[in-house]
Amino acid sequence: MVGWRAKSVTETMSNDTARPQAEHLREHTKALLDPIALAPEARVLDLGCGRGGALDLLSELAGPSGCVVGLDQDATSLAAARALVRERELGNVEIVQADARATGLPRSSFDLVHVEMLLVNLPAPEQVVEEIARLVKPGGWVAAMEPDHALRVCNPPHPALQRLCGLLAMAHRQDGADSYVGRRLPHLLATAGMADIAVEARAPVYPPGHPQRTLCPDLVRNLRPRILRWGLIDERELDRLDYAARLHLDDPETLSVPVTYFVARARKPAWAA
């Protein structure tokens, strides 16, 4: 069954914005996956694969005798993922459509379950983590990356940017999601029965011109129709804030750390069912 899922950060962006965002996240994805070694014929699940930005990395990790399943419920994203698989000739990757909270896939059937930028968009992310725990084999790996939009720095601060970041958090709450879910990863994994949890916070400083530098204004801009429909702000004021925030971020003397990403690796205990 295909269930509801809010569009991910990259899915709510325009194509021109999503491409550099996905390329930037690859740096963090590589750091997340590098310590993981899989046996031949390993089975890997990319849960909430979106447009497939991590599928080639997972395909390489699984190896020619392994198998990667990219799973998402959004038809547009899956079409892009299938196109990427064909373009890059990823012969060990298959794409399926399902709800990340109830995939219908067999229990204990994957050596690695990878999830990235999915929990931040969902109400009750613990439901997805519980499904991950069900799907991973005893002794298998879980690799996760999620943002925390509250852990950011802009110096000198600017009231327009602060207001936009507040609107972003309000928009997530309206959807029932948690824009601070990154900090919850260790607890979510532990509660689901995972062990050997290792967590790293990654908070790069971005220079003017980098696509991540304006992440908050970009996300608010892409959520604009919903923000206005919910009556969180009027259109004229939103335009003013957007202009002022971008002008401030264009200043090379402004230091910008727009988001902190938490990457976490864990294992399912070998004795677990």
- CATH code, 136: 3.40.50.150
Reading the block at residue 272, the tokens are 């677990």
| Number of folded domains that form the chain | 1
Q: What residue has token string 């999503």?
A: 18
- The maximal CA–CA distance of the chain, rounded, in angstroms, is 59
Mean pLDDT of 165-186: 92
d(CA 183, CA 179): 10
pLDDT tens for 239-266 read: 999 999 999 999 999 999 999 999 999 9
Contact call for residues 216 and 164 (beta carbons, < 8 A):
yes
pLDDT at 21 exceeding the cut of 80:
no
Question: Would you state the pLDDT for residue 22?
Answer: 60
Between 17-31, 70-84, 126-140, 234-248, the lowest mean confidence (pLDDT) is in 17-31
Reading the block at residue 121, the tokens are 């968009």
| Mean residue pLDDT across the chain | 91
Which helix (H) or strand (E) segment holds residue 218: the answer is: helix 215-222
Closest CA to 52 of 1, 86, 12: 86
Q: Identify any residues that bridge with 267 across adjacent strands, giving them in sequence order.
A: 141, 195
The answer to the question of residue 273 being in a domain is no
Could you tell me the residue range of the domain that residue 73 belongs to? 9-267
pLDDT tens for 30-81 read: 999 999 999 999 999 999 999 999 999 999 999 999 999 999 999 999 999 9
pLDDT tens for 141-170 read: 999 999 999 899 999 999 999 999 999 999
Whole-angstrom CA distances from 214 to 128, 174, 236, 270 are 29, 22, 20, 43
The answer to the question of residue 105 being in a domain is yes
The answer to the question of residue 3 being in a domain is no
Question: Would you state the pLDDT for residue 272?
Answer: 78
Contact call for residues 21 and 13 (beta carbons, < 8 A):
yes
- Sheet with 136-148, strands from edge to edge, namely 93-97, 67-72, 43-47, 110-116, 136-148, 260-267, 195-202
Question: Would you state the pLDDT for residue 8?
Answer: 40
Question: Would you state the pLDDT for residue 24?
Answer: 76
